[in-house]
Amino acid sequence: MYNRVSEKIIDNFISIIGKENVILEEESLENYAHDETPLYYSKPEVVLKPVNKSEISEIMKVASAHCIPVTPRGGGTSLSAGAVPLYHGIVLSLERMNKIREVDEENLMAIVEPGIITGLLEKELAKYNLFFPPDPVSLDSCTLGGNIAECAGGPRAMKYGVTKNYITGLEVVLPDGTVIKLGGKLLKNVTGYDLIDLFVGSEGTLGIVTEATIKTLVRPEIIIDLYIQFKTVAEASRFSIEVLKQGLNPTAIELMDGDVVRMVEKYLQRRVPHSEVDGHIIVEVDGNDKEHLKKIWERIGDIALKSGALDVLVAESVHDRERLWEIRKKIGDSLKAQTRIIAREDLVVPKNRIPDLIHQLKEYVKNLNCALYAFGHLGDGNIHTDVGCTDENLLLQTDWISQMRKKMYEITIGLGGTITAEHGIGLSKTPYLSLALDKKTIELMMKIKKEFDPKNILNPGKILSDITAKPCNHSNRL
């Protein structure tokens, strides 16, 4: 189906990017054989670390000519196996392309490379009193290129939107090595089809982003967080809906169910307030007028207490806010340390169906002798549902996991939702795409993929199942 990377091709890559940036050692290759998705693994033949668009263009010309699959990779934090090189071949790591090329304070724009760590980008922009709103929980390790590939969101998405709302220009290398430029420092642009939005969220299957022009915002002067506990997820959900109905526009409304909080409490070895109850909420508000902001958080507190909240804790200092958010940000580490995670989902339903979703999934998974841990973005209906199992005998029989995931997706779709909100389809959800999309829609997506990547060499096997059995002409074999 694809050709292997020969010694002659390796020599070609060395001439393009230098021997030190062509990784062949087995131990090093292991690091690029997986991302943060449970159960998926496939080792590349070589890892390449280019530093500019010209090098990437030359690499893609070689890969295209010799029919070698290429898997672009940012920080390796994908939760849908998007960075796993299914057909081995080349992993194209963008980690060296990590610069901010320009911060344009007058136009509130920045031009950045794809390998920059999202958290570092935030710190650098803060020097100019600016910020890039998308804030995935993995921002200390994920990259902007990965955020673009997945159209990442995060807690602040409810107020500020997701990655696609802040990308105004892209430089992209196509699978045949051609370089194209789209958009620029423009807030309005309807010149032809919107190809920028096509690339954002395409998971590295259509082209490789080598530069992005991003819209930034002026940083709010004041940020306040509230930690609120309810007896049930249903009470927490009703509170969230009421806050939004009253137009209070918080930055984030995050949910952690009781099972999650109790796991975090054990992991951090510190008491979490009212950890015995099941509906824990973090509400964030921001702005520049402290008196106005105080009125907003007081109204939110009043709504919480009227909705059955046990307590409303206010965190104003940076230290108190970080300590509060630590509970949310350490969920992944807590679950990894205390159970075997076999699925990490990011389901989305209409906001008022969240309690039904969590209840139905917990009951279903419990019957499989596993546990479901629910947390996520209550304000926009996006709930992460990690499934943990400790039964070693059960874990030896992995066939049932795909059936479990299928049932979870069917429950979600039955509640008016869909199978991913911000983690993408990647490799892990490809078998289930037809549950969420009709046949004609998938056919249109396949045509788009074929138009951009007729040889199917760029991140093959992701989003769409193999679109052709023979993507390359056999005359290209070495």
Q: What is the pLDDT of residues 318-375, one digit of tens each?
A: 999 999 999 999 999 999 999 999 999 999 999 999 999 999 999 999 999 999 999 9
Residues 421, 384 contacting (CB under 8 angstroms): no
By residue range, what is the domain housing residue 143? 100-218
Q: Are residues 244 and 285 in the same domain?
A: yes
Q: Are residues 230 and 327 in the same domain?
A: yes
- Give me the pLDDT at residue 45, please: 98
The count of structural domains within the chain is: 4
- DSSP notation for 89-101: SEEEE-TT---EE
- Give me the pLDDT at residue 469, please: 42
391-425 per-position pLDDT tens digit: 877 777 778 999 999 999 999 999 999 999 999 99
Report yes or no on 444 lying in a domain. no
Residue 228, token pair as written in the block: 């609120």
Query: Locate tokens 């973005």: which residue?
Result: 377
Report yes or no on 388 lying in a domain. yes
Residues 328, 137 contacting (CB under 8 angstroms): yes
- Give me the pLDDT at residue 466, please: 67
Read off the CATH number of the domain in which 107 is found: 3.30.465.10
Report yes or no on 142 lying in a domain. yes
**Cα–Cα nearest to 201, from 421, 453, 37, 38:** 421
151-168 per-position pLDDT tens digit: 999 999 999 999 999 999
Domain end, chosen from 331, 359, 374, is at 331
What DSSP character marks residue 369?
Answer: T
Read off the CATH number of the domain in which 310 is found: 3.30.70.2190
Domain end, chosen from 331, 350, 384, is at 331
Domain end, chosen from 186, 218, 250, is at 218
Beta strand 208-215 with 252-257 is: unpaired
Torsion angle, alpha carbons of 74, 149, 97, 13, to 10: 80
98-122 per-position pLDDT tens digit: 999 999 999 999 999 999 999 999 9
- Give me the pLDDT at residue 391, please: 83
What DSSP character marks residue 58?
Answer: H
Phi, psi for residue 376 in degrees, rounded to 5: 145, -150
Q: In this model, does residue 476 exceed pLDDT 80?
A: no
Spacing of C-alpha 23 from chain mean position: 26
Q: In this model, does residue 51 exceed pLDDT 80?
A: yes
Report yes or no on 1 lying in a domain. no
Question: What are the percentages of helix, strand and coil residues in the chain, rounded to 5?
Answer: 40, 20, 40
Q: In this model, does residue 258 exceed pLDDT 70?
A: yes
Q: Are residues 137 and 188 in the same domain?
A: yes
Phi, psi for residue 205 in degrees, rounded to 5: -95, -15
- Give me the pLDDT at residue 471, please: 58
Q: Are residues 71 and 118 in the same domain?
A: no
**Cα–Cα nearest to 321, from 291, 351, 304, 297:** 297
